[in-house]
Amino acid sequence: MFVCPECGSVLQTMDLPCPECAVGADIEEDASASLHEYSRTFRTRTAVRYRPAALAKDVSAWLATQDGLLGVSLIFHRDVQGLTCGATATCQASLHLTGAKFQVVHVPLAAGLLGKRRISPGDALNAWADGLPSAWRLNHWVFARAGVPTELWILYADGASSNQSIEVPHSL
């Protein structure tokens, strides 16, 4: 945890001036001084049991605690079996608070015994958009095994309710 050496307030990163100390200073003039980029990697174990929903929950919970996010990009890590074993989130942030909260959702596209029930990625995206009309989909990833789409990951921002947690529609 980073702490400002002058006022002692908790900081997300040491790249920026302390927002408490810089209240009187004019930070608006130098836009590059008020923007910074940082990353964090999340890992999940796939050898025992594949739990992509737990990975999505961990990433979303961390993103919800980040203030001032202007943009998020994700890179997913895959193991030799083709399963998602982690993700790296790269965030662009500012000193100024924004109302949008970024979230990640995992939608399984194959269900049932041996994945016999399949949902097309387009139908899953449409159902997700219908379930969360206030959300802005920023990006999505479709992963396949043996040429069959098996999972969908969605990165989105929801500015309508910045303090509420957003749940994935269970109709998928």
Q: For 88-140, what is each residue's pLDDT tens digit?
A: 999 988 877 777 789 999 999 987 666 677 889 999 999 999 998 889 999 99
Predicted TM-score of the model (pTM): 0.70
Any domain includes 102: yes
Any domain includes 24: no
Any domain includes 50: yes
Give the angle subtended at the CA of 122 by the CAs of 73 and 104, to the nearest 5°: 30
Tally of domains within the chain = 1
Any domain includes 16: no
Any domain includes 169: no
Any domain includes 9: no
**pLDDT on residue 162:** 38
The whole domain housing 129 covers 35-158
